[in-house]
Amino acid sequence: MVHYQDKTRYFGYIRGVRTVRYSEVSRVACSDGVPLSCLACSFIGNVETAFRLMSEKNSTPTKLLAIDDDPGFLGLISAVLSSDNLQILTTTDAETGLDLFARTRPRIVLLDLVMPRISGMEVLEKMVSADPATEVILITGNYSTESAVEAIQKGACDYLPKPVDVEKLRARVASLIADAETRRRTFQLDAELIEAYQFEGIIGRSPLMLELFAKLRRVGPHFRTVLITGETGTGKELVAQALHRLSPAKSNPFVVCNCSAIVGTLMESELFGHTKGSFTGANQDKLGVFEYANGGTVFLDEIGELPLEAQAKLLRVLQHQEVQRVGSPAPRPVNVRVLSATNRDLKRMASEGKFREDLYYRLAMVELKLPRLADRKEDLLLLQRQFLSKFAAQYGKPITGIARRAQICLGRHHWPGNVRELENVIGNACMMTNSSVIDLPDLPESVRSGTHPGGGETDLVSFEELQRRHLLHVLERIGGNKARAAEILGVSRTTIYEMLARIEGEQQLHMAAAARRAGAS
Ligand SMILES: Nc1ncnc2c1ncn2[C@@H]1O[C@H](COP(=O)(O)OP(=O)(O)OP(=O)(O)O)[C@@H](O)[C@H]1O
Ligand SMILES: [Mg+2]
């Protein structure tokens, strides 16, 4: 994960935990022999934790299952891969292989493509659907680009031709073991880092969120009014609760009023209260939100929906710290802090005459703008981990992780609904899955297809990339039949072959780069 390499600033102290420079971390990580990617996905912050986990060794050997009808090949595999941190199981029979797989749950499987009775592709599908975290390498004497694409689409992590290049196989297995170890350590680190990287229940470790935490710490003890803005699902209510807890009024009431949920005519009575008989149905005196929250905090959610008449009265409350109940001229003193939130542009509304400008400035003595999830993707992994633990516990399922291809998909999505959307996606996936790992089919179509209705520019790709994606999509839909794909796409079969060869070339380059990176660390 190269993106950390150019970051060299200190992060100072986070909740009393010493933090270090990225460059310092990379040096330690490399000298300790732990791949940098281990840290790249979740490290920052708790140095002691990271150092301790890095120095721990996983004593259990990784299980590798090899299935091939040629006993000579199995002998060769056992000989060349033999090592202390690998437990090798072999069988010449695919069905026995599936049985062994179910009983021993190997991390890595080497699988022959052509076998009597049951094909390698079928075995691959069964294994990946039983445990998407399994790394299956298909090995074949009849290498073809089509079957390579099919294998990768069905979830294989690699596809190697026979005779096998022994050095290449060794390197590949070693990098898979390193990846598995990375994930194990990341899992432990994440649990501890969620603790280190949450502030008053708000999770984040991106520079944008660390900046927000610093502001909350500064503003919390002193604010009278704060306007919290940000797109839907960015955590505005969470921030409001945090500000109240950080204020000197934390032991007094925190009262929420959703301005969009109250009928216009009842708004003033709801906010400021009313006296008996002041309107039809007012059978007794009633406290409004402000009097009820006296000494504490009022949170006016969706403030952009407040009718203009109520805006004038609210301004009076803020200016004079007193309310007048509907039907009574008597002012009643109140001492409240006022937090308000909106996903609308209040300043623009003010310039269009839809919101009082003077009220805007009163409410926004401090303005906190919450970043979109798409602008702080560094937080995705921690948030995913947090929601995974939450929903796994809620549904009583032993879910431990997210498959790599699902992870890639989540990373690519634009998250127009921000953290709430992510929470819903992980919640639904945890409810649907029968496995211990969330995989692609557990994700909603909008996330899998990578459509971004919310705008942004990440969906603006070149024609070439669009063609590539569309070709793979079509092939996936029709089970890899190239002649049919050529018909559907209105091009010759040769064009399809050429495009697939290009994609394969890119994939190999990509895999070689990944293997080089793993080897280098
Ligand atoms: N940084 C975060 N860490 C953990 N959970 C978060 C974070 N941000 C948001 N959430 C969770 O996401 C959900 C939506 O958050 P919240 O209701 O505060 O968003 P909002 O900005 O008020 O959304 P809306 O504008 O739609 O009212 C909640 O379940 C909240 O707990
Ligand atoms: Mg809200």
Is 150 in contact with 119 (CB distance < 8 Å)? Answer: no
Q: Has residue 181 got a pLDDT over 80?
A: no
What pLDDT sits at residue 2?
24
b/e code 459-468 from CB counts within 10 Å (16+ = b): eeeeeeeeeb
Q: Which of 208, 419, 423 to mutate to test the pocket of ligand 1 (most atoms within 8 A of CB)?
A: 419
Which ligand 1 atom is the nearest neighbour of the CA of 203?
Answer: 3
Please write the tens of the pLDDT for every residue from 108-119.
999 999 888 899
Segment 413-442 mean pLDDT: 92
Residue 23 has a pLDDT of 31
pLDDT reported for residue 176: 87
pLDDT at 471: 85
| 202 vs 134, higher pLDDT | 202
Give the pocket of ligand 1 (CB within 6 Å): 202-204, 230, 232-238, 343, 419-420, 423
Burial class (CB in 10 A: 0-12, 13-18, 19+), 221: exposed
Distance of CA 13 to the CA centre of its chain: 25
Contact 222, 246 (CB under 8 A): no
Atom of ligand 1 nearest to the CA of 301: 27
Cis amide leading into 163 (omega within 30): yes
Q: With 60 as the cut, is the pLDDT of residue 451 above it?
A: no
Average pLDDT rounded to a whole number, residues 120-130: 90
Q: Picking from 137-151, 313-327, 410-424, which range would have the lowest pLDDT averaged per residue?
A: 137-151
Residue-level pLDDT at 509 = 57
Q: How far is the CA of 230 from the centre of ligand 2 (A)?
A: 10
83 Cβ contact list (under 8 Å, min separation 6): none
Q: Of ligand 1's atoms, which has the minimum distance to the CA of residue 386?
A: 4
Atom of ligand 1 nearest to the CA of 231: 25
Count how many Cα atoms sit within 13 Å of the Cα of residue 496 in the half-sphere of its side chain.
23
- Enumerate residues 6+ apart whose C-beta is below 8 A from 405: 132, 155, 439, 440
Mutate-to-test residue for ligand 1 from 199, 237, 389, highest number of ligand atoms within 8 A of CB: 237
Lowest mean pLDDT among 45-54, 157-166, 312-321, 512-521: 45-54
Region 437-454: mean pLDDT is: 79
pLDDT at position 39: 31
What is the per-residue pLDDT across 16-40, written as a single tens digit (0 to 9) for each?
223 333 333 333 333 233 322 333 3
Distance CA(427)–CA(90), nearest Å, equals 38
Residues with Cβ within 8 Å of 361's Cβ and at least 6 positions away in sequence, in order, are: none
Q: How far is the CA of 252 from the centre of ligand 2 (A)?
A: 21
State pLDDT tens for residues 329-345: 899 999 999 999 999 99
Determine the pLDDT at residue 11: 30
pLDDT tens, position by position, 135-156: 899 998 887 888 888 888 788 8
Which residue lies with its CA nearest to atom 23 of ligand 1? 233
Average pLDDT taken over every residue of the chain: 81
Strand partners, 228: 341, 368
State in Å: Cα 511 to ligand 2 middle. 43
From the CA of 239, the nearest ligand is 1
Place of tokens 């501890």: 192
Task: With a cut of 60, say whether residue 520 has pLDDT above it.
Answer: no
Q: Which whole number is the average pLDDT over 402-406?
A: 83
The residue whose C-alpha atom lies closest to atom 13 belonging to ligand 1 is 420
For residue 21, the model assigns a pLDDT of 31
- Where would I find the H helices in 105-223? 120-130, 145-153, 166-196, 207-219
User: What does the pLDDT read at residue 430?
Assistant: 94
Distance CA 379, CA 375 (A): 10
Average pLDDT on 306-323 reads 92
Position 314 scores a pLDDT of 94
Average pLDDT over residues 166-185: 83
Tens-digit pLDDT profile for residues 237-251: 999 999 999 999 999
Other C-beta atoms closer than 10 Å to the C-beta of 348 total 10
Percentage of the chain exceeding pLDDT 70: 81
∠ CA(233), CA(383), CA(394), 5° rounding?
90
Decide: 341 and 300 in contact? Cβ < 8 Å: yes
